[in-house]
Structure 1
Amino acid sequence: MLPSLSFSQHDIKTWRQSSSMPPLKATDLNGREWNLADLKGQSVLLNFWATWCAPCKEEMPTLQTLHELGEADLVLLTVNVRESMPHVQRYARSTGLTLPILPDPKGVIAKAWGIVVYPSTLLIDTTGTPRQIVTGAVDWSGSEALGWLRALRQPAR
């Protein structure tokens, strides 16, 4: 029998409204270029993680499931922080990850976004505005997280 994953250790907060959104331009492990500024009109889930982070590894299968569901107006991007590209490529192959992984080997992207806890996930609405930041492991295929993602399609209050 497989152990049950609890995902109970997460916190969701409103994004620092006084903070402007840092630019994000990067190339994923498959060579596709991503520019966050080009994704307006779509909701974005931007996840920061590392292979040494147990909670990151716990939630990664649920991010992969969300990616496979292929919601038309949701872009899922993950940023692997402070690990070599060959290491991350091996990890992705061994775990069957096909979701977009943007390497951040020096932690430059994470630093620009103020990320210090892993995993951290930004929920960005269709106007390109970060609404919330979630820290800790989340079941991204569960009803609570799917509700957060649905809310990104609605106008901010």
Structure 2
Amino acid sequence: MFERRQVKAKSGISLTRLAIPLLIIMTLTTVNGVSADEKTLIQKLTPVKQSIMAPALKLQDMDEETTDLKDLKGKTVVVNFWATWCPPCRKEMASLGRLHQSTKDKNVEVLAVDIGEDDDAVFAFMAELDPTPEFTVLFNEDGSLMKSWKVRGLPTTFIINPKGEIAYFAIGGRNFDDPEIIKAITDLNFSTHKT
């Protein structure tokens, strides 16, 4: 049988006593479906005041199928540039998954463009997520899209309206399933058709 030992720190405090509160904090993962980490994410998008067409984007996904942004014209598209080594990118990934789930029947497409990594790194990261995201993950291993899309840091997200124009952008992590963000994204389908 295993003997349970208690290790004492120099101060005389049991490390087991220290570990229990730490374990509770670490396992406090979600409240109302939102992790404690995600609560630190920003809850707004920055509107783009002038009409700017989205740059070209044509990449392979995790199934080696090609996705071309121009084929998605007529839909609102969320284009998220990210990497597995980026802490805010990792924090917002679950909320992107929930955004996809809540808007997939509302003419919204979510594309997550991994920058500069091979598929092994991305597959390993996706395997850690529960549930595994169902949105499209694309690979830009050479990072070339950062220049054409003017991405200055990761994560950076662009919201493309059904006409193919950039309507909003976000630099840094976001909680993408925040009700105000979802409303801003889904409202693009209506406002674009009126003009």
TM-score range, shorter chain: 0.7 to 0.9
1:41-97 residue CA offsets vs partner (Å, 9 max, x unmatched): 110000011111111111100111222332340011010111122211221223223
Q: Which amino acid aligns with 2:175?
A: D
Q: Aligned residue for 2:187?
A: 151
SS at match of 2:171: strand
Q: Does 1:60 align with 2:93?
A: yes
Q: In 1, Cα distance between the equivalents of 2:88 and 2:125?
A: 15
Q: Aligned residue for 1:15?
A: 48
Structure 2 counterpart of 1:110, from 142, 146, 149: 146
Q: In 2, Cα distance between the equivalents of 1:116 and 1:14?
A: 17
Q: Aligned residue for 1:80?
A: 114
SS at match of 1:6: helix
Q: Does 1:123 align with 2:159?
A: yes
Give the 3 Å change call, closer, same or farther, for CA 18–66 of structure 1 in structure 2: closer
Which structure has the highest strand share of the two?
Answer: 1
Give the 3 Å change call, closer, same or farther, for CA 74–11 of structure 1 in structure 2: closer
- Gaps spanning 5+ residues in structure 1: where? none
Give the 3 Å change call, closer, same or farther, for CA 62–11 of structure 1 in structure 2: closer
Over aligned residue pairs, what C-alpha RMSD do you find? 2.1
Contact 1:92 1:98 in 2 (8 A): no
Give the TM-score, by structure 2 length.
Answer: 0.72
Contact 2:100 2:110 in 1 (8 A): yes
Shift of 1:154: 2.9
1:95-131 residue CA offsets vs partner (Å, 9 max, x unmatched): 2233211111111112210001211110111111111
Give the TM-score, by structure 1 length.
Answer: 0.88
Q: Aligned residue for 2:69?
A: 36
SS at match of 1:102: strand
Q: In 2, Cα distance between the equivalents of 1:138 and 1:54?
A: 12
Percent sequence identity is 26
Contact 1:9 1:137 in 2 (8 A): yes
Give the 3 Å change call, closer, same or farther, for CA 66–18 of structure 1 in structure 2: closer
Which structure has the highest helix share of the two?
Answer: 2
Q: In 1, Cα distance between the equivalents of 2:61 and 2:170?
A: 22
Q: Aligned residue for 2:128?
A: 94
Q: In 1, Cα distance between the equivalents of 2:174 and 2:40?
A: 5
